[in-house]
C-alpha cells in the first residue's frame, strides 16, 4: 500500500461511503424475494420447499459468483467491477417482471443473485484504502450494508401493496442503475490499482490469486462465516412468512419486524469491527456463538401444553413464545451475528493483503451458501415436522457445532504452546503458522491521551471546547433515557381506556417497576465508564432504549397481552434509568472543579427534562396516527365529544428514531479519556468511604423524590381528583424540577453545595406539609390547585438539591484525599479524587433511583391499607427531617468537613465581587 500520507483522505472517505451505499442497494435487490416471493408463492401455489428454493436461489448465485468477482477485483480494481456488478444486477432484476412460470422464476432468481457478489468486490476495494489497524472498522462499516435487507422489508411491502410485485422489481432495478452511475462519477481507483497502473504493471495470473485457498485454515474460517452470515441471510428471507403464519401478521407488519432483526444484524457490524480491532476477534466470536446458542434455544422451543399431576388433579399450563419476546430475542441474536461477521472479516486483509479478493470471495461464498441452503432446509424441516420453530432448532445445532469446533481447535493450539508464547498466538487457530501482520500503534482522535482540565491554559485552549461538545451530546441521550424510563407514568393512566382491566394496585406496580430496575441497573452502570470508556458505553446504552420502546409499541395494541408481559417491559424500561449513573460519571471527568457543579447540573437537569417531555409529548402523539400503517391501528375510546381514536402504541414508537440518531451522534462525536480508565476493583474502594453512604441518603432525599414524584404524580392526581384532567398538567412538575436543576448549579458552585442542600430540605418539608394539607381538604374548591402548587414546590426544591448534592461529592473527595493520601502528589490526589467522585456520583444516583419504585409503591400500599396516600407522605416528611439533620451534622456545622471549604468559597467570592 502507498504511504498513508500519500493517500487522498477525502477520496478514502468517499470510497468507503459510496461502497457502503452501493452494497446496501445491492443487498436490497439480493433479498427482494423475501417480500415479493410471498406474493409469487400465492400466485403459483408453491409448497414450502419450493418457496424456500425460490428465495434461496439468488443467494446461491450471489455466493458462487463471489470468488470470481473477488479475483477480478484483485486483477482489475474494485471500482469497475462494482459498477459492472450493479448494472448486471439491475438488468436481471428488471427482466424478472417477464417471468410467469416457476422454472422461469428460478432462472430469473439465479440472475438476480448477481447483486450478492458485490460484497467480494467491495471488501477488496475498501480494504485497499486503509492501513491494517483501521481495516476492521472500515470493513465493519462497509459490511453494515447488510441493512439493505431491512430496506427491502421496510419499503417493498409498501410498493407491493400499492402497485404490485412487478413495480418492486422495476423500482429496485432503477435504484441499482442510479447507484452505479453515482458510484462511477464520485469514486476513484483504489491506491494499489492506481499505483499498478501508473507503474505499467500487468495483472497477475488468476491462478496465483487462488493460491491461498489451498490452506485448510481458510476453509475452516469460511465455515465460521457460514454460521453467522449464512444464518443471518436465511433468517432475513424466512422471517416474513414465519411471522405471517405463526403470529397472524399482515405482510407489512411482518416486514417491519423482520427489518427489526436485519437492522441491528447489519448496522452493528461496524461496531463489531471496532471491537475486533480493540479486543480481538477471537473474544468477539466466542461471545457471538455463546449468545447465539442461548437465543436459538429459546426461539426453538415449540408451543407446548403441560399437564402436571397434583393431589387435587392434573394442573395444565401452556408455554409459547409471544410476539414481543420473540422480537426481543431476535434483536439480540441479530446484534451478536453482526459482531461475529465483522470479527471474521477483520483478519482477511491482515493475513492475505495481496489476496483479499480471492480469500474474501471464498469466505463470502461459503457464508452466502448458508443463505441458500438454510431456507431450503427450513422448508424441508417444516414440511417434515410441521413445526415452525424447527428452523431455530437447526440453527441451534449449527451454532453449537461451530462453537465446539472453534473451542477444541483453540485448546489444541494452546496446549502446544508455552506460557511465554501464549500471548503471541494469533487470534484464531486458523492463523497459526501464517505470517503475522505488521501492526501499528492504534491511534484515535476519540481517545484523549492528554487531559488536564485543571490547567487553565489547557482548558482555555482546547479543553473547554471538547468538554462542552461531550456535554451537549450527552444531554439528548440522557433526555431520551429519562423519557423511556418514565413512559409508564403516562401509559398506565391510558391502559383502561384501550380495554385493559388492571386494578389500581397493578397499575401502580407498572409505574413503579421501571424505578426498581433502573436503580438496579445504575449500580452496575456506575462503574462502566472507567472500564469501557464513556463514548462506547453511552452509545451502547442509548441503543438499548429501543428494546423497551418497540416492545411497548407492540404490547399495547392487543388487549389480550398478559399482565406479565407488561411487567417485563416495565422492567426493561429501567435501561433508561440506568443510563443516568454512567452519564453523570462520564461528564464528571471532563470538567474542572470550578465548573463541575454547573456541568453536572446541566447534564442532569436537561436530561431530567425527558420526564417532562414524555408527560407532555405522549398525550399528544397518541392522538394521531403519525406512523401510518407502520404504527398499527388505533383503538376507539369514549370521550365527552364522542368516540375518538387513540394510538397508545405511539408512546413507544415515537422515541425510536430519536434514539437511533442520538446513538450515532454519541459514537461519532464523543470522546474517551485515557486517564479515566479504572477497573471495578479500583473503583470499589468507595464502599469503604463513609461519605459515599451519607451522600446516598441525601441524594435519595432529592433525586429519589424527584423521580418518584414524577412517576407517581399522574396516577395519584387522577386517583384523588378524578374530575380534573391532571394529565395535561403532569409534565409541569418534572419540567420545574429539571429546569431548577440545570439553572441553579451555579448556586452550589458559588455558595457551597452543603449550605444549599440544607435549605433545600427545609423547602421540601414545607412542600410535603402543603400536599398533606390539601389532600385533607380535597373536597374544598381550589384544593387541586393547592395540591398541585405544593407539588411544584417539591419539584423545584428537588431540582435545586439534585444540583447541590452532586456539587458536594467532588468537594468532599478532594478534601478527603488530603487525609487519605498525605504523601501523594497533588496530581495523584486529583486523579484519585476524580475517579472516586465519578464512582460515588454514579453509585449514589443508583441508590437514589429506588425512589422511583418506593414512592409510587408507597402510594399504592398506603391507599390499599389506609384508604389514602397520607401515610406515605408522612413517611416522606420524616425522611426529609433526617436528611436535614444529617446535612447539618456532617457538612455545614462548624468543624464539619465542608465548613471551612464553603466559608472560604463565600469569602473569596465576596472579595472578588468587592474588587469589581
Q: pLDDT digit string (tens) for 25-36? A: 888 887 788 778
* Confidence tier at 909 by pLDDT (50, 70, 90): very low
Q: What is the pLDDT of residue 641?
A: 58
Beta strands, E only, 92-144: none
Alpha-carbon Rg of the chain, whole angstroms?
A: 30
Q: Helix or strand or coil: residue 315?
A: strand
Q: What is the pLDDT of residue 910?
A: 41
DSSP H helix total and E strand total for the chain: 44, 6
Beta bridge pairs of residue 644? 637
- What average pLDDT is seen over the chain? 77
* Confidence tier at 342 by pLDDT (50, 70, 90): confident
Q: What is the pLDDT of residue 885?
A: 93
For residues 652-677, average pLDDT: 84
For the cut 90, the answer to whether the pLDDT of residue 880 exceeds it is yes
Among the residue ranges 180-184, 299-303, 507-511, the one predicted with the least confidence is 507-511
* Confidence tier at 914 by pLDDT (50, 70, 90): very low
Residues 80-118 have pLDDT tens digits of 888 888 898 888 888 888 887 877 787 888 888 888 878
Among the residue ranges 215-219, 276-280, 785-789, 863-867, the one predicted with the least confidence is 215-219
**Nearest Cα residue to 258 out of 369, 147, 168:** 147
* Confidence tier at 360 by pLDDT (50, 70, 90): low
Are 605 and 743 in contact, with CB atoms under 8 Å apart? yes
Q: Beta 304-310 vs 672-673: how paired, if at all? A: unpaired
For residues 907-912, average pLDDT: 43
* Confidence tier at 882 by pLDDT (50, 70, 90): very high
Q: Residue 903: which residues within 8 A CB-CB, separation 6 or more?
A: 752
Among the residue ranges 419-433, 533-547, 659-673, 816-830, the one predicted with the least confidence is 419-433
| pTM for the predicted model, two decimal places | 0.47
For residues 138-156, average pLDDT: 75
For the cut 50, the answer to whether the pLDDT of residue 783 exceeds it is yes
Beta bridge pairs of residue 315? 308
Full DSSP string of 65-102: HHHHHHHHHHHH-HHHHHHHHHHHHHHHHHHGGG--SH
Among the residue ranges 213-217, 471-475, 680-684, 819-823, the one predicted with the least confidence is 213-217
For the cut 80, the answer to whether the pLDDT of residue 318 exceeds it is no
* Confidence tier at 221 by pLDDT (50, 70, 90): low
Q: Which of 274-283, 647-656, 848-857 has the highest mean pLDDT?
A: 647-656
**Residue 118 or residue 411, greater confidence:** 118
* Confidence tier at 347 by pLDDT (50, 70, 90): low
Q: What is the pLDDT of residue 816?
A: 83
Cα 876 from Cα 621, distance rounded (Å):
34
* Confidence tier at 161 by pLDDT (50, 70, 90): confident
- The CA angle 601-602-605, to the nearest 5 degrees, is 75
For the cut 80, the answer to whether the pLDDT of residue 688 exceeds it is no
Cα 583 from Cα 604, distance rounded (Å):
9
Q: What is the pLDDT of residue 462?
A: 84
Beta bridge pairs of residue 637? 644
Q: What is the pLDDT of residue 445?
A: 65
**Residue 728 or residue 752, greater confidence:** 752
* Confidence tier at 855 by pLDDT (50, 70, 90): confident
* Confidence tier at 676 by pLDDT (50, 70, 90): low
For residues 360-370, average pLDDT: 67
For residues 406-415, average pLDDT: 71
Q: What is the pLDDT of residue 206?
A: 41
Among the residue ranges 96-100, 616-620, 861-865, 893-897, the one predicted with the least confidence is 861-865
Q: Percent of the chain at pLDDT above 70? A: 80
Q: Which of 232-236, 352-356, 561-565, 566-570 has the highest mean pLDDT?
A: 566-570
Cα 502 from Cα 494, distance rounded (Å):
11
For residues 768-787, average pLDDT: 86
For the cut 80, the answer to whether the pLDDT of residue 40 exceeds it is yes
CA-CA-CA-CA torsion for 331, 337, 342, 343, nearest 10 degrees?
A: 130
For the cut 50, the answer to whether the pLDDT of residue 207 exceeds it is no
Cα 852 from Cα 15, distance rounded (Å):
49
**Residue 418 or residue 131, greater confidence:** 131
For the cut 90, the answer to whether the pLDDT of residue 881 exceeds it is yes
**Nearest Cα residue to 21 out of 89, 102, 82:** 82
Cα 579 from Cα 574, distance rounded (Å):
9
Q: How many CB atoms lie within 10 A of CB 255?
A: 29
Q: Helix or strand or coil: residue 850?
A: coil
Residues 487-543 have pLDDT tens digits of 877 787 777 777 777 776 677 667 777 877 777 777 777 667 777 778 888 888 898
CA-CA-CA-CA torsion for 358, 363, 367, 373, nearest 10 degrees?
A: 70
For the cut 90, the answer to whether the pLDDT of residue 413 exceeds it is no
Cα separations in angstroms, 412 against 168, 288, 428: 51, 21, 12
For residues 14-35, average pLDDT: 84
**Nearest Cα residue to 119 out of 159, 77, 85:** 85
Residues 260-274 have pLDDT tens digits of 676 666 667 667 767
For residues 808-833, average pLDDT: 82
Q: Which of 255-264, 534-543, 764-773, 803-812 has the highest mean pLDDT?
A: 764-773
> Which helix (H) or strand (E) segment is 642 a member of?
strand 642-646
For the cut 80, the answer to whether the pLDDT of residue 171 exceeds it is yes
Residues 600-649 have pLDDT tens digits of 777 877 777 777 787 778 888 877 777 776 777 777 776 555 677 878 88
Amino acid at each position: 500500500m502507498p504511504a498513508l500520507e500519500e493517500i487522498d483522505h477525502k477520496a478514502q472517505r468517499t470510497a468507503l461511503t459510496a461502497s457502503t451505499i452501493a452494497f446496501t442497494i445491492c443487498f436490497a435487490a439480493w433479498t427482494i424475494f423475501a417480500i415479493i416471493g410471498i406474493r409469487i408463492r400465492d400466485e403459483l401455489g408453491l409448497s414450502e420447499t419450493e418457496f424456500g428454493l425460490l428465495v434461496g436461489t439468488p443467494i446461491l448465485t450471489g455466493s458462487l459468483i463471489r470468488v470470481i468477482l473477488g479475483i477480478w477485483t484483485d486483477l482489475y480494481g474494485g471500482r469497475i467491477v462494482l459498477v459492472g456488478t450493479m448494472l448486471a444486477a439491475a438488468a436481471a432484476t428488471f427482466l424478472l417482471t417477464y417471468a410467469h412460470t416457476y422454472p422461469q422464476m428460478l432462472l430469473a432468481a439465479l440472475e438476480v443473485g448477481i447483486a450478492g457478489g458485490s460484497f467480494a468486490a467491495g471488501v477488496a476495494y475498501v480494504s485497499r484504502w486503509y492501513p491494517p489497524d483501521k481495516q476492521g472498522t472500515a470493513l465493519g462499516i462497509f459490511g453494515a450494508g447488510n441493512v439493505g435487507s431491512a430496506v427491502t422489508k421496510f419499503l417493498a411491502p409498501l410498493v407491493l401493496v400499492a402497485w404490485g410485485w412487478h413495480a418492486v422489481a422495476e423500482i429496485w432495478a432503477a435504484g441499482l442503475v442510479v447507484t452505479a452511475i453515482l458510484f462511477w462519477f464520485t469514486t476513484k481507483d483504489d491506491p494499489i490499482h492506481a499505483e499498478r497502473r501508473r507503474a505499467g504493471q500487468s495483472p497477475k495470473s488468476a491462478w496465483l490469486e487462488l493460491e491461498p485457498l489451498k490452506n485448510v485454515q481458510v476453509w475452516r474460517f469460511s465455515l465460521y462465516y457460514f454460521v453467522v452470515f449464512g444464518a443471518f441471510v436465511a433468517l432475513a428471507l424466512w422471517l416474513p412468512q414465519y411471522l405471517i403464519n405463526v403470529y397472524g401478521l399482515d405482510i407489512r407488519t411482518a416486514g417491519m419486524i423482520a427489518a427489526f432483526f436485519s437492522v441491528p444484524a447489519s448496522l452493528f457490524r461496524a461496531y463489531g469491527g471496532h471491537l475486533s480491532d480493540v479486543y480481538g476477534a477471537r473474544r468477539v466470536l466466542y461471545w457471538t456463538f455463546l449468545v447465539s446458542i442461548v437465543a436459538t434455544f429459546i426461539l426453538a422451543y415449540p408451543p407446548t401444553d403441560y399437564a402436571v399431576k397434583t393431589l387435587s388433579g392434573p394442573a395444565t399450563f401452556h408455554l409459547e413464545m409471544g410476539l414481543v419476546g420473540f422480537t426481543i430475542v431476535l434483536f439480540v441474536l441479530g446484534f451478536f451475528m453482526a459482531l461475529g461477521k465483522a470479527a471474521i472479516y477483520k483478519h482477511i486483509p491482515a493475513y492475505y493483503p495481496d489476496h483479499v479478493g480471492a480469500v474474501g470471495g471464498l469466505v463470502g461464498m461459503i457464508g452466502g451458501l448458508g443463505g441458500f441452503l438454510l431456507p431450503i432446509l427450513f422448508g424441508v424441516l417444516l414440511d417434515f415436522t410441521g413445526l415452525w420453530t424447527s428452523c431455530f432448532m437447526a440453527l441451534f445445532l449449527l451454532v453449537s457445532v461451530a462453537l465446539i469446533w472453534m473451542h477444541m481447535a483453540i485448546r489444541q493450539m494452546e496446549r502446544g504452546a508455552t506460557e511465554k508464547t501464549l500471548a503471541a498466538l494469533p487470534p484464531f487457530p486458523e492463523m497459526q503458522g501464517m505470517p503475522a501482520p505488521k501492526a501499528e500503534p492504534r491511534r484515535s482522535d476519540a481517545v484523549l491521551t492528554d487531559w488536564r482540565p485543571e490547567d487553565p491554559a489547557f482548558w482555555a485552549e482546547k479543553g473547554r471546547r471538547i468538554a462542552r461538545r461531550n456535554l451537549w451530546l450527552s444531554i439528548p441521550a440522557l433526555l431520551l433515557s429519562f423519557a423511556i424510563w418514565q413512559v409508564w407514568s403516562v401509559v398506565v393512566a391510558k391502559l383502561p381506556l384501550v380495554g385493559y382491566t388492571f386494578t389500581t394496585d397493578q397499575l401502580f406496580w407498572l409505574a413503579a417497576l421501571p424505578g426498581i430496575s433502573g436503580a438496579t441497573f445504575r449500580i452496575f452502570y456506575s462503574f462502566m465508564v472507567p472500564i469501557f470508556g464513556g463514548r462506547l458505553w453511552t452509545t451502547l446504552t442509548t441503543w438499548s432504549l429501543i428494546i423497551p420502546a418497540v416492545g411497548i409499541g407492540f404490547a399495547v395494541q392487543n388487549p389480550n397481552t398478559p399482565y406479565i408481559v407488561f411487567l417485563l417491559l416495565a422492567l426493561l424500561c429501567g435501561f433508561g434509568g440506568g443510563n443516568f449513573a454512567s452519564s453523570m460519571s462520564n461528564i464528571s471527568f471532563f470538567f474542572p472543579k470550578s465548573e463541575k457543579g454547573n456541568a453536572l447540573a446541566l447534564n442532569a437537569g436537561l436530561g431530567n427534562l425527558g420526564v417532562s417531555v414524555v408527560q407532555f409529548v405522549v398525550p399528544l402523539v397518541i392522538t394521531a396516527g403519525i406512523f401510518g400503517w407502520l404504527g398499527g391501528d388505533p383503538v376507539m375510546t369514549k370521550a365527552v365529544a364522542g368516540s375518538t381514536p387513540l394510538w397508545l402504541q405511539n408512546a413507544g414508537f415515537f422515541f425510536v428514531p430519536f434514539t437511533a440518531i442520538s446513538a450515532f451522534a454519541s459514537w461519532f462525536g464523543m470522546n474517551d479519556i485515557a486517564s479515566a480508565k479504572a477497573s471495578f476493583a479500583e473503583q470499589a474502594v468507595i464502599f469503604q468511604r463513609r461519605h459515599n453512604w451519607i451522600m446516598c441518603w441525601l441524594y435519595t432525599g432529592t433525586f429519589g423524590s424527584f423521580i418518584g414524584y414524577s412517576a407517581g404524580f399522574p396516577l395519584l392526581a387522577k386517583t384523588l381528583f378524578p374530575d380534573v384532567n391532571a394529565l395535561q398538567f403532569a409534565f409541569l412538575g418534572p419540567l420545574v424540577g429539571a429546569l431548577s436543576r440545570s439553572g441553579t448549579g451555579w448556586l452550589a458552585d458559588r455558595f457551597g453545595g452543603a449550605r444549599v442542600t440544607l435549605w433545600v430540605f427545609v423547602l421540601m418539608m414545607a412542600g410535603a406539609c402543603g400536599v398533606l394539607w390539601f389532600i385533607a381538604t380535597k373536597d374544598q374548591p381550589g384544593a387541586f390547585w393547592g395540591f398541585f402548587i405544593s407539588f411544584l414546590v417539591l419539584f423545584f426544591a428537588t431540582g435545586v438539591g439534585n444540583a447541590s448534592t452532586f456539587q458536594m461529592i467532588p468537594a468532599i473527595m478532594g478534601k478527603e484525599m488530603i487525609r487519605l493520601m498525605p504523601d501523594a502528589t497533588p496530581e495523584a490526589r486529583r486523579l484519585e479524587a476524580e475517579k472516586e467522585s465519578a464512582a460515588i456520583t454514579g453509585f449514589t444516583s443508583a441508590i437514589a433511583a429506588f425512589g422511583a419504585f418506593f414512592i409510587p409503591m408507597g402510594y399504592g400500599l398506603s391507599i390499599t391499607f389506609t384508604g389514602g396516600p397520607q401515610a406515605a407522605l408522612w413517611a416522606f416528611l420524616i425522611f426529609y427531617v433526617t436528611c436535614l439533620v444529617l446535612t447539618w451534622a456532617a457538612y455545614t456545622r462548624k468543624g464539619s468537613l465542608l465548613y471551612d471549604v464553603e466559608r472560604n468559597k463565600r469569602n473569596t467570592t465576596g472579595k472578588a465581587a468587592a474588587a469589581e
